[in-house]
A = this chain, B = another copy of it.
Amino acid sequence: MSVHVVGVGSTAFGRFEEASVRTLTTRAVAEALADASCPVGAVEAAFFANATGGALDGQHCVAGEIALESAGLHGVPVVNVENACASGATALHMAYAYVEAGLAGVVLVAGVEKMTASSRSDLFGWLRGSTDVRLFDDPSFTPGDLGALAAPAGVTEAPAATKSVFMDVYAGFARAHMKEFGTTQEQIAAVAAKNHQHSTLNPRAHFRRPFTVDEVLAAQTVTWPLTVPMCAPVSDGAAAVLVCSDEALVRFDRHRAVAVLASVLASGGHRGSARDEHVQRRAARAAYEKAGVSPADVSVAEVHDATSIGELLETEHLGLVEMGSGGWAATRGETALGGRIPVNPSGGLISKGHPIGATGVGQVHEIVCQLRGEAGARQVAGARIGLAQNSGGLVCGEDAACGVTVLGRTGR
């Protein structure tokens, strides 16, 4: 059994104060259905990714049923799935499982987040509630435990009350990488500058404003070595993906279909023989094995750059660049459009935007557009195999959840 993507849709990501979860969902779903020439009545099940609706909007439960009812979907099984910032990849993974199980032939995945101008905004409460709370309830813990966290003399960091605790965590990862591999702040800035440049080619991106490496470095420090343009913004947006079984594929345009070669989900924490393998490496290894491809086969990737150090680490864990060389790869332009392995051609989370539940679904939207040759000015020439990597939450100092999706043209 194979699972195929036959339709994708996405709103722009950005600050849409007047939009609601319902209106954003409706737009993305309508676009995915139109893209597949699929009537809404043909959808047999749906998986819905939304993470902050309880904290920010008071919609604690059944958000999927409610939002999708607005989009015209009624009666079929709807499951609300959540894995913090990896909710999108998780919803896709569930849709993949549902089709593989033979429980439905045509399944919708929708991811959405409405984060700005929320009626009951508790963003910091939400952020804290996306982690292993022991870490932050433990009075003996300081973010310094995650790395050599002292900022250089003269650097003024943003006050803790104004930033996500995840920024401290990522900063800790960055300092550890700098210490171990000699990675520099300039290299992390190069990753950011690349993605901001990419986003200028993406009409759906939140920012679309280029930054030079110097501009990234000169911006306000969040937690050293991370500056504001290295960190994902708070965005609104929705994305949708329609998948189908081999059997149902006859109803769709096979020539525009993209096969899900692998959909893997893994959680953080360690045990047994996997003790020393990072969750992202484990997920990637399983995905490559399932897809029957190697990192060298990947033409284009969308990875979870909630901060630019995230992308740097992820490209290493995914085997797209060598361990420790993520910073050098960025400065050499290897991961830029036109480079050896373009990463985040969409602009990534830092510049395309990061509407939590939509993020992982939006990554798949971008890869599908790339594989179809429909990515316009940011098209990766000859893209044949694409990869999306989506991480969320924090447990035991690792991603609570990490989803890796490998996609390839069905008709290739």
Contact = CB atoms under 8 A, between A and B. Distances in A.
Contacts of A396: 69, 74
Is the contact region of chain A dominated by helix, strand, or loop, or is it mixed?
mixed
Interface in A55-85: 55, 58-62, 65-66, 69, 74-84
Complex copy number for this chain = 2
Contacts of A130: 60-62
A279 interface: yes
Given A55-B54, A79-B90, A65 B268 contact: yes
A12 interface: no
A60 B125 contact: yes
Contacts of A76: 266-267
B268 A60 contact: no
Interface in A310-339: none
Interface string A20-43: 000000000000000000000100
Contacts of A377: none
Nearest to A59: B129
Contacts of A84: 61-62
A30 B185 CA distance: 47
A83 B274 CA distance: 33
A47 to B, nearest CB: 9
Given A61-B129, A77-B93, 8 more contacts: A62-B82, A62-B394, A65-B83, A66-B133, A69-B396, A74-B271, A79-B265, A97-B98
